[in-house]
Amino acid sequence: MIQIASSDRVFILTGAGISAESGIPTFRGPGGLWRNHRVEEVASPIAWRRDPRFVWEFYSMRRRLAAAAKPNDGHIALAELEKRLQDRLFLCTQNVDSLHERAGAQRVIHMHGELFKSRCDSCDRPPFPDDRTYEPPAPVPCCECGGQIRPHICWFGEMPYRLDEIANALDRCSIFIAIGTSGVVEPAANFVAHTRGRARSYYVGPEEPANIAAFNECFSGKAGDLLPSLFQLE
Ligand code: OAD
């Protein structure tokens, strides 16, 4: 059990593992490859410059998969926790699906972008909702400025979003909980170390993450099994 007092501020970081029970494959586990490509080879500015159709084929597949998936008990438990803690919970996800929101969470921070948004790769038109798929032979969509429309995703080598808000929340939290993330992709892998000495830290997932040594305690199991009865609020 994780005891949450009325004075606590909770930072939750989720990764691909929380959506695994909804049928969305994780990146580094079994089934994590796409047509024999590592995700780093498809999710990058280099891949986009080389072959934007190939990149859209990958994200179109992911849009289809995510649209068909349903939130699981883990997402629902976190949405319920948000209802009770309100702005004392900072829910930050590395996931680009919208399963936290579809479970009812209202204030999700998507540090790696959102699958159902696109943006222009050339002008500063803001990201816009987009659930279409662009698979070859469909052309790569174009912006009015002549640029190409790309997925609103933080690719390898790009800067994650909303890092100022995240740093601020890490500074203020008294409890840090990571769920379903392998602890290898920076900067998220370093968040727990950032809170050391100030916050109690917990990991939830079936395997130890690479940064396990930085956590105070580990709850071993699936998010959907553990989260519904993990939190005890004062
Ligand atoms: P990974 O695929 O690296 O790790 C998924 C983690 O989820 C593993 O540690 C699994 O043990 C765990 N897991 C599997 N099933 C679970 C379950 N039912 N409940 C809880 N945990 C479970 O995914 P991430 O750490 O999220 O970045 O990957 C981080 C980033 O790397 C992603 O956001 C993505 C990727 O490349 C970008 O696209 C920028």
Among 21, 58, 94, which residue has the most ligand 1 atoms within 8 Å of its CB, making it the best to mutate? 94
The string of pLDDT tens digits covering residues 175-226 is: 999 999 999 999 999 999 999 999 999 999 999 999 999 999 999 999 999 9
Distance 43 CA to ligand 1 centre (A): 15
Answer yes or no: do 85 and 182 share one domain: yes
Distance 168 CA to ligand 1 centre (A): 24
Mean pLDDT of 46-60: 94
Answer yes or no: do 229 and 125 share one domain: no
Tally of domains in the chain: 2
Answer yes or no: do 141 and 180 share one domain: no
Among 14, 28, 110, 158, which residue has the most ligand 1 atoms within 8 Å of its CB, making it the best to mutate? 28
Q: Which residues are catalytic?
A: 112
Structural domain including 119 reads 25-68+113-153
Among 17-31, 65-79, 154-168, which is the least confidently predicted range?
17-31
CA distance readout (Å), 197 to 138, 192, 194, 213: 53, 10, 9, 14
Q: Does any ligand 1 atom lie closer than 6 A to the CB of residue 181? A: yes
Q: What is the pLDDT of residue 150?
A: 97
Task: Give, using CA atoms, the residue closest to atom 25 of ligand 1.
Answer: 181
Helix or strand (DSSP H, E) at 203: strand 200-205
* 166 confidence band (pLDDT: 50, 70, 90): very high
Q: How far apart are CA 10 and CA 51, in angstroms?
A: 41
Answer yes or no: do 91 and 148 share one domain: no
Q: How far apart are CA 206 and CA 141, in angstroms?
A: 40
Answer yes or no: do 130 and 190 share one domain: no
Confidence (pTM): 0.96
* 41 confidence band (pLDDT: 50, 70, 90): confident
The string of pLDDT tens digits covering residues 76-108 is: 999 999 999 999 999 999 999 999 999 999 999
Q: Is the pLDDT reported for residue 35 higher than 80?
A: no
Alpha helical stretches, state H, the chain: 17-20, 39-42, 45-50, 52-68, 73-85, 99-102, 163-172, 191-194, 223-226
Task: Give, using CA atoms, the residue closest to atom 30 of ligand 1.
Answer: 185
Answer yes or no: do 165 and 217 share one domain: yes
Among 181, 202, 204, which residue has the most ligand 1 atoms within 8 Å of its CB, making it the best to mutate? 181
In the block, which residue shows the tokens 């930072």? Answer: 11
Answer yes or no: do 62 and 175 share one domain: no
Distance 185 CA to ligand 1 centre (A): 9
Q: How far apart are CA 18 and CA 222, in angstroms?
A: 8
Distance 143 CA to ligand 1 centre (A): 33
Q: Does any ligand 1 atom lie closer than 6 A to the CB of residue 214? A: no
Answer yes or no: do 18 and 126 share one domain: no
The string of pLDDT tens digits covering residues 117-143 is: 999 999 999 999 999 999 888 899 999
Q: What is the pLDDT of residue 205?
A: 98
Q: What is the pLDDT of residue 33?
A: 66
Q: How far apart are CA 66 and CA 153, in angstroms?
A: 14
Answer yes or no: do 126 and 107 share one domain: no
Task: Give, using CA atoms, the residue closest to atom 11 of ligand 1.
Answer: 207
Q: Does any ligand 1 atom lie closer than 6 A to the CB of residue 75? A: no
Mean pLDDT of 2-13: 97
In the block, which residue shows the tokens 């979003």? Answer: 161
